[in-house]
Structure 1
């Protein structure tokens, strides 16, 4: 055995270095893959790509142009790991799958875990889904169809239908023999579930408990009740919160009759947490479910609605300025300082709003602690308002006059206090009426701080200088 064999695992194909120091795909590796695709060199692709992890293949697909992605999958044939399609944006996944024959997809789906298979199939048209499922063995077809029939973004869509379940009267020895002999068990699992003859969930046994028990011990004597069984219709974000709160590695998924239908594992939950966090961030920016791989037309269409709403709100703020046009004409300094009041209010409101939306998403903010948090934000708004009132007022006094400094100081205090209240009350009210705070909060908070800021500053100036 050579030194190179030792480094590559005793004769296994050497894994290519695909990332540079910044974590991006190496240009020389990308060039080799592109040249192999252009030259229809399937052997090179199989030797270079087949040895990569699914997440690495996903990064490679995202780095390639659309036509090259499709060609890569076709040239690799059976050697392509379809699990990699769960690692890419939806637009890329659809682009690849839609250019493949359903027979090839059906063949690939049979090699995947059920949760990964559902992840690929759920974005296809119902007609294509049915055609693919018809080519699968009966048992697998029923399992996948059941998962696909659950609503999107629920535990039923995320669950894996491969699991280990045994009756309570089996012994530890029978269970171990069963796991050794049955070749249809999942590749990896952490628990064995205990079910009655109707497949109603009774409990679970951790694998370490099995290994530490005598062969003659009955399963019902070592099982524990499953206190965190997850309904298949539960929202995936709520299921992820169950995992976070109780430090779960896996959890049983049950139907409306408490019958075991699947298992949710930590790797899927991590994906859910990441997706939900990205979704909330994008929605707060008013870009919906936009992805980097989306086309110009799709991206533009997703952004236009919120830009239109922002335009309407901007005209509302501008109308407040229009009420005091005579004051602005008399004192030009007001026009110079107006953006400072509105901008500081908007930033302060965004800070509070971001914390509030996140707290609502993680359920750290509820009816029991809302009053205390509101009082805290009011205190923060008052303190920050006083601090920046002194700072901005002093600068304005030095720049223009003491009177201008006093007016903007008062306006700054009012607007920062208002921003703190709006930043927490707007998301709370939207959540109360069933709207998504992550989507709608930003535009309302910004409008409130702009309107209050302009009105306070220009109104106080008009009163102070007696210009009406």
Structure 2
């Protein structure tokens, strides 16, 4: 990241903005102008120059916003001058169109220009046939590095790490390090630290560039290095890595193999991507969805959603069976058919609120076995307090609607019971799934909704049968 004191200027596609009105999105007028330029063959050069002047993230955003025909035109214009940094920013489905437009050889050439972590990411997201074709066209050195990265488990540090780093021996002085850095080739394009290693290439500490530049030439690196390293094993899961960076406020961390040798580094920009990915994944799973790109076709999207919808159909049938047990009650008290959804709906919403807080707490390690009972007690108190308020409101609504005080009492009591149950279920389901090694985000919402609906209907109909008939 570069910081300058130049006067603020409008970047292509983004109007100059004041401190009070800062935007990081492409200006709609710019996007529309690019669309118009792509439709006009006489403005092809203008369109290419405009897009090439964008930051790679903005260029990726623009490519995703275009329809298929204009995207194809733009890719043909950019061929030969395409910024490889754009590729990791693209949606998987859109990236596939880049591969189709450029072919395996040109795509492999773009991959070879990227840092190793981005290269591994791109090749990993190809299907087997495409992966083999791209790997075949890569230089041998790059192919070896990528294949090594792909040999590690999915979502592990080995997949996430960048192989490019700066490692120096502990006996060097500051002057030795600076002289070497000035003449060395193959250094990372950007780095903020030097890893100090022993003769077996095991990390001993790190020296930040800020400390290096302030020190005297004769100072030894071992005297400057920070020994409080947090080495990451190549097999560590990326969620654990994100937690480590969050708790230790790290900018980077060394990655070591089974023998403790330094093999790579993980930087904060990769961890930010992991945090976004994990948060998105949890959000989708809570809704019973699996990951599909925004630009995937309707058939692919429908196929990923039908499984959990089918499961929901099964749970809905269970809920309906509970209602079926009280057909006689419903025939005599038709008003219950109107009031029941109010109880089950609010119970479901309350359960989802508790569930969301629990899943988030488990993901961030704020909720664990050590404080599970305390948090459950807190949620029960919340459910009780909200239940009292909503019970009074629901009972009042039932009385005003039907002028039936016993009926209002049944609705109010059922509401209170369901809110308490929602708190218990919302905490209990994700904790139980976590206990049995199942991701709480995967199936919690289905079971919480089913149980609050079933118990809500059971409370209303059961109380009505006991006290109103």
TM-score (norm. length: structure 1): 0.92
How far did 1:36 drift?
A: 3.1
- Counterparts of residues 154-173 of structure 1 (less than 5 Å): 154-173=156-175
Structure 1, residues 123-150: CA drift from partner, whole Å, max 9, x if none? 1234543443344444333222211222
How far did 1:18 drift?
A: 4.9
How far did 1:89 drift?
A: 1.4
Structure 1, residues 59-82: CA drift from partner, whole Å, max 9, x if none? 111111234324422321231112
What is the distance in 2 between the residues matched to 1:34 and 1:233?
Answer: 49
- Counterparts of residues 23-422 of structure 1 (less than 5 Å): 23=25, 25-27=27-29, 29-33=31-35, 35-36=37-38, 39=41, 43-400=45-402, 401-422=404-425
What is the distance in 1 between the residues matched to 2:154 and 2:71?
Answer: 27
How far did 1:460 drift?
A: 0.5
Structure 1, residues 170-219: CA drift from partner, whole Å, max 9, x if none? 11111011111113211211110012233222221111221222211222
Q: How many residues align?
A: 457
Deviates more, 1:218-227 or 1:410-419: 218-227
How far did 1:441 drift?
A: 0.5
Aligned partner of residue 101 in structure 1, secondary structure? helix
How far did 1:38 drift?
A: 6.3
What is the distance in 1 between the residues matched to 2:446 and 2:134?
Answer: 44
What is the distance in 2 between the residues matched to 1:165 and 1:256?
Answer: 18
Partner of residue 459, structure 1: 462
How far did 1:375 drift?
A: 0.8
Deviates more, 1:267-276 or 1:212-221: 212-221
CA separation of 1:49 and 1:247: change in aligned 2, threshold 3 A: same
How far did 1:305 drift?
A: 0.6
Tell me if structure 1 keeps the 8 A contact 2:104–2:137. no
How far did 1:448 drift?
A: 0.4
1:447 and 2:450 correspond: yes
Runs of 4+ residues deviating >6 angstroms: 6-9, 19-22
1:17 and 2:13 correspond: yes
1:427 and 2:430 correspond: yes
What is the distance in 2 between the residues matched to 1:66 and 1:51?
Answer: 22
Tell me if structure 2 keeps the 8 A contact 1:18–1:26. no
What is the distance in 2 between the residues matched to 1:369 and 1:306?
Answer: 31
Tell me if structure 1 keeps the 8 A contact 2:48–2:74. no
TM-score (norm. length: structure 2): 0.92
What is the distance in 2 between the residues matched to 1:67 and 1:391?
Answer: 56
Structure 1, residues 37-70: CA drift from partner, whole Å, max 9, x if none? 6639653333111110011011111111234324
How far did 1:390 drift?
A: 1.6
CA separation of 1:22 and 1:340: change in aligned 2, threshold 3 A: farther
Structure 1, residues 331-355: CA drift from partner, whole Å, max 9, x if none? 1111110001100100110000000
How far did 1:249 drift?
A: 0.8
Aligned residues: CA RMSD: 2.2
Deviates more, 1:280-289 or 1:197-206: 197-206
Deviates more, 1:34-43 or 1:218-227: 34-43
How far did 1:220 drift?
A: 1.8
How far did 1:426 drift?
A: 0.3
Partner of residue 20, structure 2: none
CA separation of 1:134 and 1:197: change in aligned 2, threshold 3 A: farther
CA separation of 1:446 and 1:30: change in aligned 2, threshold 3 A: same
What is the distance in 1 between the residues matched to 2:68 and 2:240?
Answer: 35
What is the distance in 2 between the residues matched to 1:103 and 1:424?
Answer: 53
Aligned partner of residue 80 in structure 2, secondary structure? helix
CA separation of 1:207 and 1:384: change in aligned 2, threshold 3 A: same
* Structure 1, unaligned runs of 5 or more: 1-5
